[in-house]
Amino acid sequence: MTTRRFEPIDSGVTPRFAGHATFMRLPVVVNPREVDVAIAGVPWDGGTTNRPGPRHGPRQVREMSSLIKRVHSVTKISPYELCRVADVGDAPVNPIDLDRSLESIRAFFAQIVAAGAVPLSVGGDHLCSLPILRAVAAKGPVGMIHFDAHSDTVDTYFGGLKYTHGTPFRRAVEEKLLDPKRVVQIGIRGSTYSADERGWALAQGMRIITIEELEDLGVDAVIREARRVAGEGPTYISFDIDALDPAVAPGTGTPEFAGITSREALRLLRGLRHLNLVGADVVEVSPPFDPSGGTALAGANIAFELLCLLAESFAARKA
Amino acid sequence: MTTRRFEPIDSGVTPRFAGHATFMRLPVVVNPREVDVAIAGVPWDGGTTNRPGPRHGPRQVREMSSLIKRVHSVTKISPYELCRVADVGDAPVNPIDLDRSLESIRAFFAQIVAAGAVPLSVGGDHLCSLPILRAVAAKGPVGMIHFDAHSDTVDTYFGGLKYTHGTPFRRAVEEKLLDPKRVVQIGIRGSTYSADERGWALAQGMRIITIEELEDLGVDAVIREARRVAGEGPTYISFDIDALDPAVAPGTGTPEFAGITSREALRLLRGLRHLNLVGADVVEVSPPFDPSGGTALAGANIAFELLCLLAESFAARKA
Amino acid sequence: MTTRRFEPIDSGVTPRFAGHATFMRLPVVVNPREVDVAIAGVPWDGGTTNRPGPRHGPRQVREMSSLIKRVHSVTKISPYELCRVADVGDAPVNPIDLDRSLESIRAFFAQIVAAGAVPLSVGGDHLCSLPILRAVAAKGPVGMIHFDAHSDTVDTYFGGLKYTHGTPFRRAVEEKLLDPKRVVQIGIRGSTYSADERGWALAQGMRIITIEELEDLGVDAVIREARRVAGEGPTYISFDIDALDPAVAPGTGTPEFAGITSREALRLLRGLRHLNLVGADVVEVSPPFDPSGGTALAGANIAFELLCLLAESFAARKA
Amino acid sequence: MTTRRFEPIDSGVTPRFAGHATFMRLPVVVNPREVDVAIAGVPWDGGTTNRPGPRHGPRQVREMSSLIKRVHSVTKISPYELCRVADVGDAPVNPIDLDRSLESIRAFFAQIVAAGAVPLSVGGDHLCSLPILRAVAAKGPVGMIHFDAHSDTVDTYFGGLKYTHGTPFRRAVEEKLLDPKRVVQIGIRGSTYSADERGWALAQGMRIITIEELEDLGVDAVIREARRVAGEGPTYISFDIDALDPAVAPGTGTPEFAGITSREALRLLRGLRHLNLVGADVVEVSPPFDPSGGTALAGANIAFELLCLLAESFAARKA
Amino acid sequence: MTTRRFEPIDSGVTPRFAGHATFMRLPVVVNPREVDVAIAGVPWDGGTTNRPGPRHGPRQVREMSSLIKRVHSVTKISPYELCRVADVGDAPVNPIDLDRSLESIRAFFAQIVAAGAVPLSVGGDHLCSLPILRAVAAKGPVGMIHFDAHSDTVDTYFGGLKYTHGTPFRRAVEEKLLDPKRVVQIGIRGSTYSADERGWALAQGMRIITIEELEDLGVDAVIREARRVAGEGPTYISFDIDALDPAVAPGTGTPEFAGITSREALRLLRGLRHLNLVGADVVEVSPPFDPSGGTALAGANIAFELLCLLAESFAARKA
Amino acid sequence: MTTRRFEPIDSGVTPRFAGHATFMRLPVVVNPREVDVAIAGVPWDGGTTNRPGPRHGPRQVREMSSLIKRVHSVTKISPYELCRVADVGDAPVNPIDLDRSLESIRAFFAQIVAAGAVPLSVGGDHLCSLPILRAVAAKGPVGMIHFDAHSDTVDTYFGGLKYTHGTPFRRAVEEKLLDPKRVVQIGIRGSTYSADERGWALAQGMRIITIEELEDLGVDAVIREARRVAGEGPTYISFDIDALDPAVAPGTGTPEFAGITSREALRLLRGLRHLNLVGADVVEVSPPFDPSGGTALAGANIAFELLCLLAESFAARKA
């Protein structure tokens, strides 16, 4: 097992637009045993109920991540000095077959977990989080800090279908992948199918912080609440890009008006240091609906924040 | 006369992208006697002084309104349980003839008013509000809560023309459709033709809350002030999409930098419950200048907020 | 059973951008017994192997079909005088469940066929043609004139999957819905998975006219050949929009360079009068990849040509 | 009166993207007495029955005309050596008032004609051609070579309106501005309101060459026919950009599938040398529907071809 | 020397889309002696390290500045009443030759300065500020209030290159054009090449206010701090459009997530009245990456704010 | 030295949108000794005189080349069976420094040539062809078949600059890299700076086939003429994407109206089999001006045709 660290290509030497696009301009390393934090794409949107496109998300986020440099300017974290980080490629997927895709995604991430690495996934639609959780939480339920416009805890769609991008976290609770009492959902908003749409989640003990509550409490209080809910246990972070305001991230399948601003998003994420993180994802970036590329840019920045959190948490566990 | 209520198509059964696009996925009902709140399009932009396109607004807002679900997640209002709501189609218009259009729009809304229904109109440019007010205020002046970057109370344009999208509310005051002392304009900003451009409106007693004042006062104080000005009498709400920041709503004819954010807009509208509302409109959505569709998305969300307000107000009057 | 004919809205009275968008500005008629040619949408792209989006095709083709007028300027056919034509809405679909969708689409078109009407479908991806053929060819195999860049007769994709938009016509032959000796494919081109990719189709007796052969033979000879192959029996026309050059129709899932020009397409279709037509479709219009709307415009024009052919054929059978 | 000639800015010295955008990078000269061929914009689209936007045409064609160099590579004509050519600015227009605009446009071009200059106009919608013809044909009817998808000889729209972009040449014949026997229309196509829609034009003696006839005859025969019809008398050329195929020129109000190709267009125009030309226009370039800028690029190139024709014709008359 | 003042074209008479696009619809005046505030374009992006395009900025900002009216609605300043303001055209540039361009830009602005006028420049990339400072600070170092996502004080790029858009202010300090102790940088953010990337600037005495500090301090405190740093001496304002959030200004070469909002930007600029201003610029507007035009709209508005500041400052010095 | 052949990823197993984008989905192989045909990107546009952007060409062509399959459907060539083909990455470039870039590009290709491999380059602007020719023709002049709208044999630009994308082939002749008598230029068109602009090239003995001559002669005759000119000697093919009609390829720096159609382009290239080819390039794909992606799609298809030609020629030499 190598202990080689990986460095992004230096954009002060090789321009950002040159070379193959990989996450953060990192090398491609296919053996998960060689990495500590594995950045993977999941180019699949077979759970999408409305506008499709997140299957194209990983490539476009890779492209935009060329803009990210080595060091976090606020925390001064350079993840590449803390541990071994690389682009491990895309999970195998099948755009036609939902069941096989859920299994092949799970198996891909199970390998990463088995190798001792922490996965950072770039989707793909939000159903992708379910097979990742099956890998990450194979040994017991995890907590989750979940940024989203939607709770994604609907029971079924379209006549009883249990697996869509609106249902992953209901399934994850049922499968005991998530401990609902350690789940907090931030940025929830928008019209609902029924007045009680969020009732099931609340009944399980999930903490829902709507965009209105976020605005009333302020970012710092939300951070404290999120940390309280997640606690000390193993925790996953899932960031649906539609948590952000559509002015920031129009390129997504079910844009929801009046969301989290870009500055709030960064501040919230930066408030999540020193948790016990076992994985993270950013999902629902849909390039066909993103004419300015702003959504992929948001995705790349969110991914970098998550990377810094994961690297620091990984390093702390190893220390 | 039927008392049948109308329901939007259930997006948990029929996907959002399926079927003909109607406002809020509601049925089309052409007889205004069968509805309480009549959502109508006004595909006309003959009063536009700069970039055209709002004639295409109604269709695109219909398309984007497929994203809206049945229940308001904050107020828990479901307008479809409070009263009969339907898409009554588009007012007849004539893209070449301003005079005929003003009359045919007025007559269309007069029928709605005569049937006892409350109109919710989706424009079209802002001159469309004038013939609607002629219908709504036929029996006496109304108050107005007006969201806009511009006061729209210029006297004339282009050598004495009295009917443009920059003049409707001057005409409405002159025609005694609006009681200027019960008019509040929110979000006004941008450079002006003269230092005294807003003088006429102020002299009539209108209350102008510029974006700068909004920022200084805060949303809650603005709500109180708007409610104070509008008072108990019959009130109309007119929402020019250019009240919003161009980052949120670029697709409009005269975008004005640095406007109302999406979250402020929702909070402002949600502060207007329990007024005596007689109609509302959202105008100036111009799809040809809206590459990401964000402006139409904004229009659909504003329309839903207005719908909830109108339905609640209608139901309260009937109670 | 009514004998009422339906007329498009007159764009000389009501502007093209006004009112709800329906196919050809026709009324919506949900009962297939009231129509002779039933124009239906199939908003489904669950068989798509590459870029998604045709689920949004029906709405966008409806929108663009507002540009089409009543009478064909070359043939002088007005389909609305020959028979009853209406927009019958969209087939029920399920974006997550391929099997259910294939069945619900089939059942929808079986109702149309059972009512004695001829279906004109606007997709949707090309797999949609399979369930339509199951309805149209329920009593025996039909011939097909097929415009496409691809033969769509691959056996399986992605590890044995038999139902994708690259396989419908292999399945249709296997299911004896198509008589391969009465099938002609026009416009086939592009790189292939193997040197023998088209071997199966040829072995069945299908006639493949590549774009190179089309160019060499000329349009008139291709028409003669297509008519010879299709013969006198019941015949279906399937038009994949990617048959057209990507300059004409960029908005499609697998654009193939150097295709049929718009003028060739019209001339080819106009050469297919007086066949015994039992249905037709235009598929693979993908609005998210169509920034200028040109692909949907092409789709609407192809649909009108098909409508004229179907109406004339229907009327001839009734005469 | 000056005899100074004007030169475009040299793009080998000053890059194309630098400086104010004027037609062909020519100086702005407001006094028509100082020019022989006056290139003018008409930023007006008040006669538009469908998608608006040609009011933005002149600016965008100016922008794209920066790509045009000094000399015609086929004819070797350099118009700037043959006569005085300049950008004379835009005709005064009123986006709200049709009647005033028709008069102010007419007066603007009457001044140009009175000064002895030949106008080359960049629209604007096609109704703009009517007031220009009123100026150009003030002393007697002219012939016209007219490139268009539509005959534009409808009588009235929307309940009797006589002035729209679908009616200019009916009015022009009625007003004896055009000699219909010297009018040829090239590229006509598309569905029609009625089977006899082109009957009036034909009855007046106009020669209509549909796109189908153009394809059958070939470009050279069409040139001969156009020259035969126009004859020796004073002749105007009007080029509606929708004559071109929508793949070439998508940015227009009523795009019509399957039109003239770019190479045919140039060859046709180059066949019109040595006529007795009294003016020309290119109209219906609508930038809001032109995401790639290709339509404005087409407009600039058509304008340059027209300029070469006008300059040569002017010089021949002066010789 | 004339004392003629210049007025923008009145958009209440001539529509905004009509006529040649100049900055603020002002006349073009090529002799700098005739103006007090000279608005100039610098269509050059030869220092760009990533996505190119600002060479097209001046034309597009001119186009969008047609939306700006005569009077500042908050300060009531009308710059055209305070002094002579005109569009003086573009600085000569060479897209291939960096050295010559730096010199020709410098010489162009030196002429403006020599004529006693104050330059307001619209770029172009940020390296353009260096030659302008060479003109403006020819007689001694100036202070600077600098809005940007990046400090632009890197030493070298790409193997020792000293002149890029990431290095201008390091050069300016070295050349004693800037007094670093009178420089404040506002809005700095984003990942960095190294943990000490901003160390050089700080070591020189520059004051860096990151976006995080701006958010913590509030706009009013930042204004006070900026005024304190700049002091009474001659001061330049440089506004890189990427200081703004990418939702507001996506069209720029190195967009940096989570920036200054539009309202903050205006409030910050309005806090800079009554300084001793010797010039200003707005740079890095890149139209090819700006599908909605919002970035150019931002550029035009920032330019107008700067114009009001410069005009007031100029007038105060002359009083 | 390995004799391993490389295969593209099988799109029937791994969907086209999955995984890192490489040319033709081939592996990345950095050692040129391991390949026979080396596909390389040149992300540089420092010679561009007008709209920039080709620096982004290699990545976008890689992305679109995912659509290309293994076998040429007309020639049945599968280049991967004939020789070793891989993506060798991008040449090192410097967006600020023209001289260094010309040298680093040359050195990169010199290594490829020295290794015995044949380069297929994807630009980048057309000046990139010069350093490639310096590598390819190091031992003596080569012939060239050159597709372009422009001759690119201007002497200097912008005051004597000898190295721009309008000058590469003048330099190449001067440097004896090209044998002008073995150079044929196809598709040349558009307005010119002077009547004699192409005189120098003709005087050297180059054969220029304008678009007009191509249309008159027909494709087959042009192929014969091109083969006659190029003869038996070592030959390079350079394909400027602006050779194509702007409807096909709008995303380029100096689009020239009325160019080569996509079908003509393929037929022309397919006529160039069995020449003695020593390299090829496709240049001037500019993604920022390519909203539909059609230009990059064209680039990918042209690259595949070139690849088949190079592979066959390489294999023939080795046989």
Asked whether the beta carbons of D265 and D282 are under 8 A apart, the reply is no
Express each pLDDT in A207-240 by its tens digit.
999 999 999 999 999 999 999 999 999 999 999 9
Tell which of C48, C96, C99, C285 to mutate to test the A interface (max A CBs under 10 Å): C96
- The CA distance from D34 to the nearest CA of chain E, in Å, is 19
H or E stretch including B311?
helix B294-318
Asked whether the beta carbons of B65 and B120 are under 8 A apart, the reply is no
Going across the sheet that includes E178-188, the strands are: E85-90, E37-42, E118-123, E277-283, E235-240, E142-147, E178-188, E207-210
Buried b (16+ CB within 10 A) or exposed e, E267-306: bbbbbbeebebbbbbbbbbbbbbbbbbbbbbbbbbbbbbb
pLDDT band at A148 (very low <50, low <70, confident <90, very high): very high
* Residue C4 to residue C245: CA distance in whole angstroms: 40
H or E stretch including F197?
none
According to the model, what pLDDT value does residue C186 have?
Answer: 98
Tell me which chain C residues have a C-beta less than 8 angstroms from the C-beta of F247. 247
Specify whether the backbone of B125 is left (phi greater than 0), alpha (psi in -120 to 50) or beta: beta
H or E stretch including E13?
none
A-F contacts at Cβ under 8 angstroms: 63
C-F contacts at Cβ under 8 angstroms: 90
* Residue A11 to residue D67: CA distance in whole angstroms: 34
Query: Residue C46: pLDDT above 60?
Result: yes
According to the model, what pLDDT value does residue C1 have?
Answer: 42
Asked whether the beta carbons of C153 and C167 are under 8 A apart, the reply is yes
The amino acid occupying position D226 is A
Q: Return residues 77-116 of F near A (CB < 8 Å).
A: 87, 89-90, 92-95
Contact F158 D69 (CB under 8 A): no
pLDDT band at A1 (very low <50, low <70, confident <90, very high): very low
Mean pLDDT of chain D: 97
In this structure, the number of other CB atoms found within 10 A of the CB of residue F65 comes to: 27
Residue A50: which of B15, B70, B263 has the nearest Cβ? Answer: B15
Contact A71 E190 (CB under 8 A): no
Contact A48 C97 (CB under 8 A): no
Residue D247: which of C69, C78, C262 has the nearest Cβ? Answer: C262
Q: Which residue of D has its CA nearest to B163?
A: D96
Contact E297 B191 (CB under 8 A): no
In this structure, the number of other CB atoms found within 10 A of the CB of residue B3 comes to: 7
Partners of residue C236 on adjacent β-strands:
C144, C279
pLDDT band at A3 (very low <50, low <70, confident <90, very high): low
Closest alpha carbon to F149 in D26, D261, D18, D263? D263
Express each pLDDT in B2-50 by its tens digit.
468 999 999 999 999 999 999 999 999 999 999 999 999 999 999 999 9
| Any domain includes D8 | no
Closest alpha carbon to A37 in A235, A312, A240, A241? A312
Closest alpha carbon to D47 in D161, D141, D135? D161
Q: What is the ipTM of this complex?
A: 0.96
Q: Is the dihedral of CA F230, F235, F236, F237 positive or negative?
A: positive
- Phi, then psi, of D249 in degrees rounded to 5: -135, 75
Asked whether the beta carbons of D71 and F192 are under 8 A apart, the reply is yes
Q: Which two tokens stand for residue D139?
A: 């002393």
In this structure, the number of other CB atoms found within 10 A of the CB of residue F227 comes to: 18
- The CA distance from E105 to the nearest CA of chain D, in Å, is 13
The 3-state DSSP class for residue E234 equals coil
According to the model, what pLDDT value does residue B1 have?
Answer: 42
The DSSP code for F137 is T
| Any domain includes E156 | yes
Using CB atoms, which chains have 3+ pairs under 8 A with C? Answer: A, B, D, F
Partners of residue B183 on adjacent β-strands:
B144
* Residue A161 to residue C96: CA distance in whole angstroms: 8
Q: Is D173 exposed, middle or buried (0-12, 13-18, 19+ CB in 10 A)?
A: buried
| Any domain includes B34 | yes
How many distinct helices (H) and strands (E) make up chain D? 10, 8
The DSSP code for F34 is G
- The CA distance from C50 to the nearest CA of chain F, in Å, is 6
Asked if A215 is an interface residue toward chain E (Cβ–Cβ < 8 A), one would say no
Residue C193: which of F69, F266, F304 has the nearest Cβ? Answer: F69
Tell me which chain B residues have a C-beta less than 8 angstroms from the C-beta of C17. 43, 55-56, 59
- The CA distance from C93 to the nearest CA of chain A, in Å, is 9
DSSP C184-215: EEEEE-S-BSSTTTTHHHHHHT-EEEEHHHHH
Contact B70 A192 (CB under 8 A): yes
In this structure, the number of other CB atoms found within 10 A of the CB of residue A7 comes to: 14
B-D contacts at Cβ under 8 angstroms: 58
Q: Which residue of B has its CA nearest to E73?
A: B191
Tell me which chain B residues have a C-beta less than 8 angstroms from the C-beta of E247. 247
Tell me which chain F residues have a C-beta less than 8 angstroms from the C-beta of E55. 52
Rg of chain E over CA atoms, in angstroms? 18
In this structure, the number of other CB atoms found within 10 A of the CB of residue F258 comes to: 23
The DSSP code for A197 is T
Asked if D245 is an interface residue toward chain F (Cβ–Cβ < 8 A), one would say yes
Q: Which residue of F has its CA nearest to C48?
A: F15
Asked if D21 is an interface residue toward chain E (Cβ–Cβ < 8 A), one would say yes
Tell which of E11, E17, E60, E108 to mutate to test the D interface (max D CBs under 10 Å): E17
According to the model, what pLDDT value does residue D1 have?
Answer: 42
Residue D48: which of B49, B95, B159 has the nearest Cβ? Answer: B95
Tell me which chain D residues have a C-beta less than 8 angstroms from the C-beta of E15. 43, 55, 93-95
Asked whether the beta carbons of A290 and A248 are under 8 A apart, the reply is no
Closest alpha carbon to B108 in B43, B172, B61? B43
Contact A73 E49 (CB under 8 A): no
Query: Residue C2: pLDDT above 90?
Result: no
The DSSP code for B138 is T
Tell me which chain E residues have a C-beta less than 8 angstroms from the C-beta of B202. none
Q: Which residue of E has its CA nearest to F165?
A: E96
Give the orientation angle of helix E262-270 with respect to helix E294-318, to 10 degrees. Answer: 10
Taking the C-alpha atoms of D197, D200, D205 and D210 in order, what is their torsion angle to the nearest 10 degrees?
A: -10
Contact B21 C19 (CB under 8 A): no
Q: Work out the average pLDDT over D155-162.
A: 95
| Any domain includes F91 | yes
> Strands, DSSP E only, in E152-272?
178-188, 207-210, 235-240
Rg of chain B over CA atoms, in angstroms? 18
- Phi, then psi, of D144 in degrees rounded to 5: -150, 135
Contact A215 B291 (CB under 8 A): no
According to the model, what pLDDT value does residue F4 have?
Answer: 80
The DSSP code for D117 is P
Contact F292 D292 (CB under 8 A): yes
Specify whether the backbone of B160 is left (phi greater than 0), alpha (psi in -120 to 50) or beta: left
First to last CA, chain E: 18
Closest alpha carbon to D270 in D77, D126, D120? D77
Asked if D288 is an interface residue toward chain B (Cβ–Cβ < 8 A), one would say yes
Contact F20 A22 (CB under 8 A): yes
Closest alpha carbon to D235 in D272, D261, D290? D272
- The CA distance from B189 to the nearest CA of chain E, in Å, is 7
* Residue D280 to residue D297: CA distance in whole angstroms: 18
Helix, strand, coil percentages (3-state) for chain D, rounded to 5, are: 40, 20, 45
Residue pLDDT tens, chain E, 319 long: 446 899 999 999 999 999 999 999 999 999 999 999 999 999 999 999 999 999 999 999 999 999 999 999 999 999 999 999 999 999 999 999 999 999 999 999 999 999 999 999 999 999 999 999 999 999 999 999 999 999 999 999 999 999 999 999 999 999 999 999 999 999 999 999 998 889 999 999 999 999 999 999 999 999 999 999 999 999 999 999 999 999 999 999 999 999 999 999 999 999 999 999 999 999 999 999 999 999 999 999 999 999 999 999 999 999 8
Tell me which chain B residues have a C-beta less than 8 angstroms from the C-beta of C56. 17
- The CA distance from D56 to the nearest CA of chain B, in Å, is 8
Contact D304 F250 (CB under 8 A): no
| Any domain includes A206 | yes
pLDDT band at C4 (very low <50, low <70, confident <90, very high): confident
In this structure, the number of other CB atoms found within 10 A of the CB of residue D250 comes to: 25
The DSSP code for D108 is H
pLDDT band at D4 (very low <50, low <70, confident <90, very high): confident
* pTM given for the model: 0.98
* Residue A260 to residue A266: CA distance in whole angstroms: 10
Residue B17: which of C28, C55, C94 has the nearest Cβ? Answer: C55
F276 Cβ contact list (under 8 Å, min separation 6): F232, F233, F234, F235, F313, F317
According to the model, what pLDDT value does residue C3 have?
Answer: 67
Express each pLDDT in C101-149 by its tens digit.
999 999 999 999 999 999 999 999 999 999 999 999 999 999 999 999 9
Asked if F5 is an interface residue toward chain E (Cβ–Cβ < 8 A), one would say no
How many structural domains does chain C have? 1
> Strands, DSSP E only, in D202-284?
207-210, 235-240, 277-283
H or E stretch including B217?
helix B211-217
Asked whether the beta carbons of E223 and E166 are under 8 A apart, the reply is no
DSSP E297-316: HHHHHHHHHHHHHHHHHHHH
> Strands, DSSP E only, in chain F?
37-42, 85-90, 118-123, 142-147, 178-188, 207-210, 235-240, 277-283
Q: Which two tokens stand for residue A215?
A: 């605005």
| Any domain includes A168 | yes
We report the CATH number of the domain holding residue D84 as 3.40.800.10
Q: Which residue of F has its CA nearest to D17?
A: F50
Asked whether the beta carbons of A96 and A45 are under 8 A apart, the reply is no
Contact D59 E93 (CB under 8 A): no
pLDDT band at C319 (very low <50, low <70, confident <90, very high): confident
* Residue E7 to residue E27: CA distance in whole angstroms: 8
- All residue ranges of chain F with pLDDT < 50 are 1-2
Tell which of D26, D73, D85 to mutate to test the F interface (max F CBs under 10 Å): D73
| Any domain includes B3 | no
| Any domain includes F33 | yes
Using CB atoms, which chains have 3+ pairs under 8 A with D? Answer: B, C, E, F
Q: Which residue of F has its CA nearest to E286?
A: F288
Structural domain for F88, as ranges: 23-318
Q: Which two tokens stand for residue F275?
A: 């020449």
* Residue A214 to residue A216: CA distance in whole angstroms: 5
Partners of residue F236 on adjacent β-strands:
F144, F279
Q: Work out the average pLDDT over C188-215.
A: 96
Closest alpha carbon to A35 in A116, A92, A107? A116
First to last CA, chain C: 18
